[in-house]
Chains A and B, each alone.
Chain A
Amino acid sequence: MNPIVSIDDIARAIPSGCRLALPADYAGVAMAVTLPLIRCAPRDLCLVCVPTGGMQVDMLIGAGLVRTIETSAVSLGEAGGAPCFNRAVSLGAIELLDSTCPAVHAGLTAAQKGAPFASMRGLIGTDVLKHRADWRVIDNPFAESPDPVVLVPAIRPDIALLHAPMADREGNVWIGRRRELATMVYASRRAFATVERIVERSLLSDETVAAGVLPALYVEGIALAPRGALPYGLWGEYGTDTAELIRYARAARTGQGFRAYLETAAAECATS
């Protein structure tokens, strides 16, 4: 099967009710899929931020596609707080599973291993733990004296979506040292990636890059999307367009401003 698909194909593959895993703003966000996904308008998405969310998450929330979000944080970084997320939280419009970064990694790692849970230090005495009915505290069965530890259940997303510098025609995706993307994809049932370019040689046949490759075994579709992380940057390729993030942050301060931003962005997208 040819793994090369279009950006719209990827957007259409994300159904209502999907548990969707998305990378942090520094780790390859498939921003190019955001508008097509909003156009497809699936409902009741359950987002898993790996381990934090940014503009893509904020836009999906603003567009009303999100029912639940599990995350350690949502922010626009230097551009400040995430306006649609903050608004949705204050209105009680989304269900919030506040987490902490290593707990997200732990849950995904458990899923990667096919294990039911991972155990974790820390957390005890926090309100983060208090509000997570799905986490458990047990006594470390290997300790001689009482030693409470937290159990985080496996996080098994339906779909993982990411952007990376390159893929080959077999569907192998190069993620370099961004190994959290591999964990996210291993933990998920299906995965899609947009990439800056598609190379003709097999990435797995080159030993110097193979360790940084996400094998096609886990990846269902690849779409070509040059500069597809913008306004976020992509390691080794280009930097973040902070001015655009700030422009978005200002626009999205109100629901009306957010919708106007979306319309403009969609129009620009159509003419480019």
Chain B
Amino acid sequence: MSTARLPEGADTAAEGAGTPVSAAAPRELLIVTIARLLKGVRHVAVGASSPIPAAAAMLLRARSEAEGAPPVRLSILGSVQHNFFTNGSGELFDCAGQGRIDAFFLGGGQIDGHGNVNLVGTGSYPESSVRWPGSFGSAYLYFVVPRVILFREEHSRRVLVDRVDFVSAPGSSAKGIYRTGGPHALLTSMGVFMFDPQRACFRLVSMHPGRSLADLRAATGFDFDVDPALGETPPPSASELALLRGCVLTELAQTYPDFAARFHTDLARKGAADPLDRPTRSTDPLPAPRT
């Protein structure tokens, strides 16, 4: 399988060409892939309890620093160290509304093929059969943050549905509706899709190692386009892994100590199966970034 081209500003493995490291854990592949999807952003905001997107943003920041590129600003909600806001929790939304935030992450109890996100519940409303916490800031941020990355590790027909039962945030808007932001890509434990805002649908651009197109189709409840250059998600380069396992992990431990400790343990017994490489617990269907 060839190495896929990630379009629209997403980086490829080219900078680390010739030095891919096959020993990367699935979680490391996710982090590095998100960092590539973030390439070029100046300010990325990350919800609380989102260690993988946070690690990716830290990796991007460390790389930019190492390359002498303009600094990447990172705002992790609830963090003291990685937080520029002094005007309360509303400041994030004020910032986003002014176009000061380039990228953000959303999860979703359900995500459909048109990029609609449901963080509220399944079945009827309001007496839903399964109730999730609620829309948080998605009903606003999805409209005003240019590069929203949908990230949900569980890749199943339960999550990736044809039509969401409740639209917390729509993937696209009619002409004339003010909208400067929206979905950019969808990343799961199986692959990477890019969003086409004109057609309001996803295009599969790469699959993670060991996944086939048939696997992806079987686990996805919506129709999607397939990129002509579909290939395997490029593995982390040696330099990316070095940064990730070095300064990024140290930084991550200050905000997500439990996550970082597990990361360390896994690195220590390299070769063992990755304990995080499993579907999300069904009782806790929403590891959505909280805003």
Question: Residues on A close to B: CB < 8 A?
Answer: 24, 26-27, 51-52, 71-75, 77-78, 80-82, 85-86, 89-92, 96, 98-103, 105, 109, 120-129, 131, 145-149, 177-183, 235
Contacts and interface: CB of A to CB of B under 8 A. Distances in A.
Contacts of B97: 102, 121
Contact of A182 (B88, B129, B169): B88
B291 A101 contact: yes
Nearest to A78: B49
A118 B178 CA distance: 17
A102 B137 contact: yes
Contact of A179 (B48, B86, B166): B86
B173 A125 contact: yes
Given A103-B140, A125-B173, A177-B87, A75 B133 contact: yes
A102 B89 CA distance: 9
Contacts of B143: 121-123
Contacts of A147: 176, 178
Interface of B: 48-49, 78, 80, 85-91, 93, 97, 119-121, 125-129, 131-144, 166-170, 173-174, 176-178, 283-284, 286, 290-291
B139 A100 contact: yes
Contacts of A128: 120, 135, 139, 167-168
A52 to B, nearest CB: 7
Given A86-B131, A90-B127, A128-B139, A178 B144 contact: no
A80 B283 contact: yes
Contact of A126 (B121, B139, B284): B139
B136 A90 contact: no
B286 to A, nearest CB: 8
Contacts of B137: 51, 72, 100-102
A52 B119 CA distance: 13
Contacts of B85: 177
B125 A127 contact: yes
B88 A177 contact: yes
